[in-house]
Amino acid sequence: MSSQLPQFEDVAAAAARLKGQSQTTPLLIAPLLDEIAGARVLIKAETLQIAGAFKFRGAYNRLVQLDAAERRNGVVAWSSGNHAQGVAAAGRRLGIRSTIVMPSDAPAIKVENTRRLGADIVFYNRHTENREEIGRRLTEERGATLVPSYDDPHIIAGQGTVALEMAAQAYEQHGVRLDDLLVPCGGGGLVAGCALALTGASPGTRVYCVEPADYDDTARSLASGQREVVRAGAMSLCDALLAPTPGKLTFEINRALLSGGRAVTDAQVMEAMAFAWRELKLVVEPGGAVALAAVLSGAFRCEGRTVGVVLSGGNVDSEVYLRAMR
């Protein structure tokens, strides 16, 4: 990997910045899941993180490093919802104005939470407009700092603190080291950060990305060796994971460190959401449930191993959640 990319030390530094700011989310077990998988499965509940998803970690790590002038000019980000809420929450905590470019069809709960956290929202049509062009224009007009959702070394390092915590909890609470770690993947920032974290915290652990079936661009990119693009007209219930292609930085990390990728259907995702409610008493959004779905469905076979699963977020509209419960 390029020396310009974040390293394990950057994840450790992010963990120090986040101490006392982010939640140390619990590592859970579900005996029925162990029985179904024939494995020992440890579940990281980032659904209980500030703003309901792992995104606060990367956002805070990015914003806290801005200088006084950058803080005065504010930040701009684009997001379907979880990064939006993470940036808004971090900005509110640090006294930094945040503006979020959001798709007009973003889940209502994510829009409401982002606005409640004090961010300004600029809507766009995801089918006819380019969110990055809008975000960059706003950044230039205001002299603001752009905070990408995944393709940024500080964001990646912050997200990696999820796996840093997991590795420590697995050993301290259960006396084990993870054989495998399954991580939800959209643009690849979370899984890239987790893979970096485990190079130092648990170098024997194999890391896999998990994506929606029609948005398996990272898995296909790992196989081909180049950044692949989602096919035109692709659809998925997993609104948090709809990046059209892997990020440049994230893919450079992921192709060096990941052991592979898996994909799950929307039906398998809804089954995983229902399982999390019944067995863990947790609300999980579709994109946050893909790694759990891979274990439950057998898309990832893990018999006889110790496997970590990240539940990355819990911000889901009631209508979608009720569909899963039914």
Fold exhibited by the domain 56-150 = Rossmann fold (3.40.50)
How far apart are the C-alpha atoms of 299 and 173, rounded to whole Å? 28
Separation of alpha carbons 236 and 216, rounded Å: 11
Q: What is the dihedral of CA 16, 22, 24, 28, to 10 degrees?
A: -140
Q: Are strands 40-45 and 27-28 parallel, antiparallel or unpaired?
A: antiparallel
- Cα 104 to Cα 81: distance, rounded to the nearest angstrom: 11
**Cβ proximity of 166 and 156 under 8 Å:** no
Question: Tens-of-pLDDT digits for all 326 residues of the chain?
Answer: 555 899 999 999 999 999 999 999 999 999 999 999 999 999 999 999 999 999 999 999 999 999 999 999 999 999 878 999 999 999 999 999 999 999 898 888 888 999 999 999 999 998 899 988 999 999 999 999 999 999 999 999 999 999 999 999 999 999 999 999 999 999 999 999 999 999 999 999 999 999 999 999 999 999 999 999 999 889 999 999 999 999 999 999 999 999 999 999 999 999 999 999 999 999 999 999 999 999 999 999 999 999 999 999 999 999 999 999 98
User: What's residue 110's pLDDT?
Assistant: 87
Q: At a CB cut-off of 8 Å and minimum separation 6, what does 183 contact?
A: 163, 190, 191, 194, 207, 208, 209, 210, 291, 310, 312
pLDDT of residue 26: 98
pLDDT of the residue at 1: 53
> Residue 3's pLDDT is what?
55
Gap between the Cα atoms of 249 and 60, Å rounded: 19
Backbone angles phi, psi at 209, to 5 degrees: -90, 150
Can you tell me the distance from the alpha carbon of 201 to that of 168, in angstroms, rounded to the nearest whole number? 8
**Distance between CA atoms of 188 and 105, rounded to whole angstroms?**
22
- Kindly report the pTM of this predicted structure: 0.95
Residue 5's Cβ-count burial label (10 Å; 0-12, 13-18, 19+) is middle
SS3 content of the chain, % helix, strand, coil (to 5): 50, 15, 35
Tokens 């891979």 map to which residue?
A: 294
Q: Which amino acid is at 271?
A: E
Q: What region does 171 belong to: left with phi over 0, alpha with psi -120 to 50, or beta?
A: alpha
Positions of CATH 3.40.50.1100 in the chain: 8-52+154-325, 56-150
The Cα–Cα gap between 265 and 269 comes to: 6
CATH number of 8-52+154-325: 3.40.50.1100
Q: Encoding tokens for residue 35?
A: 């029985």
